[in-house]
Structure 1
Amino acid sequence: MNGEQWAAISARIDAERETARDRAKARGEEYATVLPGISWDVGAPMPHLFSSGHRTFVLFRPHQPTPGWDGTWSRPVDTTDPARVGLSVIEFVLTYSVRFGGPNDEALHGHPLSDRGLEPYRAHEVHNSSWITEAERINSVHSGHLGGWHRRMRHYVLTFHDQTLECLAKDLRLEQLTCAFPEAVGQVAAML
């Protein structure tokens, strides 16, 4: 397949996703939109999750173009390497709940949002989230329950190569680090 053919297929898939998002939005159903400015290494993002209840962080290798890379070779990644590298950390602010595990990129089409805008290797926000609705319904039996969770909480989905991370939180913040991966693990753990 040449570059033009790949671009045409990619454009068609993007158009289909946008149509699916628009259709779900018009029906008041949940759908995912891509968050701009957040990207990671597609092949080996190496996401590491840190959570202590209300504070949650994910450390990962960001997308960094490799000059001369043509897709025919790969470079092994070792998270114990002491070399300084560029890394990214997302903090989920006021986390309510977090899920981390499957599906991976090969089973992402089985995710309930796969036909509603969810894309591989991207960060998303879910609108009209059924998970927020469910969490609010469960919490509604609490004597101090305050409704309106869809106004105050956001549902994020990060689709990495081998894992998917979903989080209900008030907001997120992205930070860049330059250090060895083991050092970054220590820095993030200290923020909990």
Structure 2
Amino acid sequence: MSYKGSEEVVKTVESLNGWNITEPLLVSNDRKTIMIFNLVNEPDWNHPSAYNDYDDEIVIIELRNCMKLQFGSPNAEIRKSHRLWDKGLESYGVFQVENSRWIVELDSQSQIHPLYRQSKLTNKKHFVFCLEDSTFECISDEFIIRKEKYNSKVMGEIFREVSQRSF
């Protein structure tokens, strides 16, 4: 839980350095949010013949009880303009924001509800996913990352799974 007056601090949850993350797809409803993207192994340009797309992976991130999200700008080239840059955010990676102003804002909004309970937000966490061409931020209980080797059959299975589980 975040506390009013405390300084926001960004901590690395998972480093994505050395990977080219492309084509994120976001599917969300009131209970679950799923993001899928290609995780492309960076080729060794000194030995380009060593690269093949069989090394690439599909990453499925499932966020449980996602209360709020935003997806889009800034991309990696202008990430330094993000308000959390000076708090520990980096160009690529998955980060958690401690003492999140965003969670405090959600709590303030919720206080007008007659059955308001601060404990509803106690387990919520503010995550930031810094990708190549976009940034994804959310308030969620947790996230689970699953990786699969890239191929069209796996992609078809993932899309069937996402559509069955989310809608």
Q: State whether TM-score is above 0.5.
A: yes
Residue 121 of structure 1: aligned partner:
92
Describe the SS at the equivalent of 2:104. Answer: helix
Closer, same or farther in 2 for the Cα pair 1:70/1:157, shift >3 Å? farther
Closer, same or farther in 2 for the Cα pair 1:144/1:40, shift >3 Å? farther
1:37-95: CA deviations, max 9, x gaps? x63874442111110122001101225354x33499xx9x9xxxxx8952111111111
1:33 aligns with 2:15: no
State the one-letter code of the partner of 2:63. F
State the one-letter code of the partner of 1:116. K
Query: Unpaired segments of 5 or more residues in structure 2?
Result: none
Closer, same or farther in 2 for the Cα pair 1:153/1:95, shift >3 Å? same
Describe the SS at the equivalent of 2:118. Answer: coil
Once structures 1 and 2 are overlaid, which stretch shifts more, 173-182 or 48-57?
173-182
> Is contact 2:79-2:85 (8 Å) kept?
yes
CA RMSD of aligned residues (A): 2.9
Measured in 2, the distance between the counterparts of 1:84 and 1:188 equals: 23
Measured in 2, the distance between the counterparts of 1:97 and 1:127 equals: 16
Residue 45 of structure 1: aligned partner:
22
Deviation >4 Å, runs of 4+: none
Describe the SS at the equivalent of 1:112. Answer: coil
Instruction: Give the number of aligned pairs.
Output: 157
Q: Which one of the candidate residues 151, 159, 169 is aligned to 2:122?
A: 151
Describe the SS at the equivalent of 1:141. Answer: coil
Closer, same or farther in 2 for the Cα pair 1:84/1:51, shift >3 Å? farther
TM-score by length of 1: 0.71
TM-score by length of 2: 0.80
Q: Which one of the candidate residues 31, 35, 40 is aligned to 1:58?
A: 35
Query: Unpaired segments of 5 or more residues in structure 1?
Result: 1-26, 78-82
Q: Which one of the candidate residues 67, 70, 86 is aligned to 2:57?
A: 86
> Is contact 2:16-2:94 (8 Å) kept?
yes
1:173 aligns with 2:144: yes
